[in-house]
Structure 1
Amino acid sequence: MKTNCALLLSTTVLISLSQLLSSCTISKQSARFKLIMNDDYCVSNITSNFNEIMPQTYNADSVYAKDTLLNKTLSRNEFLVANATGAVPLIRRLIANSKKDSAVSKLTNLELRQQLQEKTIRIKSILDELSAEINCEAGRTKRAADFLGGFSAKRNNQLTIGTIFAGSVTTAAPLVIKNTKAQNATVVTGAIAAAYLGVKLLQSGHSKVQFTYERNLLSDIWVSPKQATQYPAFIWFLLTRPELNMGDNRLSIQQNIKKRWANIELNGADNNTLNLIFKNGGSYSQDDLNTRIILLNQLEASVRLLNSAVESYLSSIQKKFTSQD
């Protein structure tokens, strides 16, 4: 009877402890995860529906080759940027007006240059807003990764403590319990509990969180659609012209980013991983979240470089007409 009581007591205590350690915080943590991850606070107004600024033409090469007025004034890259940002009509008027030498034409020239300056500032602010959204989404993803990492670490600590406790009970049983059968029962129970907790500890690295987003700025970069589904048309034009990639003119900025991802971060990734990262999200592991952070950081850096290049080309165009005063 005493043996059975000791067995029952030790089994109940150890197994209850293991269950408590492995599950006591899961429901609370899951609720907090859901609250944080469902709050997609990073979405901006710079979407594919944005039409305040539109490319003048998508047949830019042909237009530049045939238009002697433009190709004698602008370099190829200057024209591509002007075309993408809808600045070509304004530049045509500046070119035509610069040939006149009256007081009225000088005043008109000043007004046109002011309009070009305002357009340059507006374009920069749009690209800044896009960069800020990507940065925000990277930060949001990092919050999820850190939270999941902290949850896993806390759970590992609890399981480790439980394993140590179970092992300690098993070791101390012969010293505390004099009855041989009770000793054996306690040792066996402790061993079972320690093994159970050990298995749980090995499985603890597989924690995941449901992580979704209203729009995915990574998707167009990977899928390479002719018409962007996530970006304004003028930004997609800039991202997909090889001439505007300062690092390698054989590839566009979009193609270069995708090539890096395919060769390094996503080398060997299966379809499930690709669908997770480039569609609407889903059940993310900490490793998947960290991969998403890396991709977002690379995309943000490329958008910032593009922003600097666009500003430089538009400023160069302005100087052509400023020097004529």
Structure 2
Amino acid sequence: MMTSCSSLRVVRHAPLIVQSTYCAPATSYSYDITYLPLTNIDSLLQRNPQIKNILNDHDIQMANAMGILPFTQQLLSLQKDSSIQRTFQVEHTVTIIQNRLLVASAEIEGIAAELDCEGERADQLANYLDGINRKRNTVLTGASVILGAAVTVAAVAVSNDDTQDAVSLSGGPAAAALGALLLDTSGKEIQMDFSRNILGDIWFQPLHSEIYSPFTWYVLNEKSFSNSHTISLVQSIKKRWIAFELINKVSDKTVALYFKQGGLYNADRLHTRASMLNQVQSTIRSIHQDMQSLIMAVDKFSVKK
């Protein structure tokens, strides 16, 4: 996993400049190639069909995601062993599997923590901008009321009809200008530049991810882990983003803003980014549910001496 930074700069003459790297991991992660998922498990299952006697199809996919499918094969081989070393070998193999389960759980929590951090930061910045915009609108509303009252009083105070009309007309452009400012809902913006965009891989769906671990990325891209079994979890997330977050409006600028190098974010865009981050986080945390069945199967096997 690559470390990187993102920089933030409030624009439109705002007084605050923010730079933050605390959401990115503090160190790079190196994954043991021994436990990489197999790209094709059919040949292994053909050689060892008895694996399906201890694991269902879902557990087999999860075991492959964590790179422990070959170790389940070892457990099956040990069933045929009647030597006194069998108990030790079973315990050793089960320990390896249990350690992999712990590592997989840590990988889930690690990426979920980064997503949570990024989501909280986006919401915090959005709330900051919302506060600035509320104060701005309050000031403009007050100014509009004062201006309207002043024009009315001045017009009443002048007895000449032509002069009254002139006073009223002169107040019109100023009131219109204040009204236009109130209608401008864009408000303040923050410049966010990403050299590591945690949403990018979800959108572009590369074969290998430099942000998500091989285990997590396999689960997100394997269709059997989705409820429908027809599209992957990553594809499902992207479809929801397009429909509900981007309202089916996806331009090059939008893609660059949310999934590439970033750009200018107003409060609404920050809230949208936070929602996207939270959706990915929820999906990744749900992998724990997928692991539960495999953990129970391993526990049952571990007591068979």
Return the offset for 1:69. Answer: 5.0
In the TM superposition, what is the alpha-carbon distance from 1:175 to its structure 2 partner? 5.4
Separation in 1, partners of 2:72, 2:159: 98
Once the two structures are superposed, the pairs formed by residues 231-310 of structure 1 within 5 Å of their partners are: 231-245=212-226, 247-271=227-251, 272-310=253-291
Unpaired runs of 5+ residues, structure 1, are 1-24
- Equivalent position of 1:138 in the other structure: 119
Alpha carbons 1:216, 1:278 under 8 Å: kept: yes
Question: Is contact 1:98-1:324 (8 Å) kept?
Answer: no
Identity %: 28
Please give the secondary structure, in 1, of the residue aligned with 2:245. Answer: coil
Q: Which residue is equivalent to 1:77?
A: 58
Q: Which has the larger radius of gyration?
A: 1
Of 31, 37, 62, which aligns to 2:15?
31
CA distance in 1, matches of 2:70, 2:144: 74
Tell whether the 8 Å contact from 2:111 to 2:212 is kept in structure 1 after alignment.
Answer: no
8 Å Cα contact 2:55/2:294 also seen in 1: no
Aligned counterpart, 2:147:
166
Name the CA distance, whole Å, in 2 between partners of 1:190 and 1:262. Answer: 45
**Letter of the 1:121 counterpart:** L
Larger helix proportion of the pair = 1
* d(CA) in 2 for partners of 1:51, 1:220: 18
TM-score by length of 2: 0.84
- Aligned match of 1:321 in 280, 301, 304? 301
Q: Give the distance between the partners of 1:241 and 1:56, measured in 2 at CA.
A: 11
What is the one-letter code of the residue matched to 2:59?
A: E
Specify whether residues 304 and 56 from structure 1 end up closer, same or farther in structure 2 by C-alpha distance, changes over 3 A only.
closer
Contact 1:46 1:126 in 2 (8 A): no
Give the partner amino acid of 1:300.
Q
Q: Secondary structure at the match of 2:286?
A: helix
Which runs of 5 or more residues in structure 2 are unaligned?
A: 1-10
CA contact (8 A) 2:148 2:175 kept: yes
Tell me the secondary structure at the aligned position of residue 251 of structure 1: coil
Cα distance in 2 between the residues matched to 1:61 and 1:294:
38
Cα distance, 1:188 vs structure 2? 4.8
Query: For 1:263 and 1:184, how far apart are their aligned partners in 2?
Result: 52
Cα RMSD (Å) of the superposition? 2.8
Measure how far apart 1:250 and its partner are: 1.4
Distance verdict in 2 for CA 1:308–1:292, change over 3 Å: same
User: Measured at CA, do residues 313 and 287 of structure 1 come closer, stay the same or move farther in structure 2, by a change above 3 Å?
Assistant: same
Task: From 163, 169, 181, give the equivalent of 1:200.
Answer: 181
Match of 1:194, as an amino acid? A
* Structure 2 counterpart of 1:59: 40
Question: In 2 relative to 1, CA 124–165 (structure 1 residues): closer, same or farther, beyond 3 Å?
Answer: same
State the partner residue of 1:215. 196
Contact 2:107 2:213 in 1 (8 A): no
Distance in 2 (alpha carbons) for counterparts of 1:39 and 1:227? 27
Q: Is the 8 A contact 2:37 2:214 kept in 1?
A: no
1:95 partnered with 2:76: yes
Counterpart among 44, 47, 62 of residue 25 in structure 2: 44
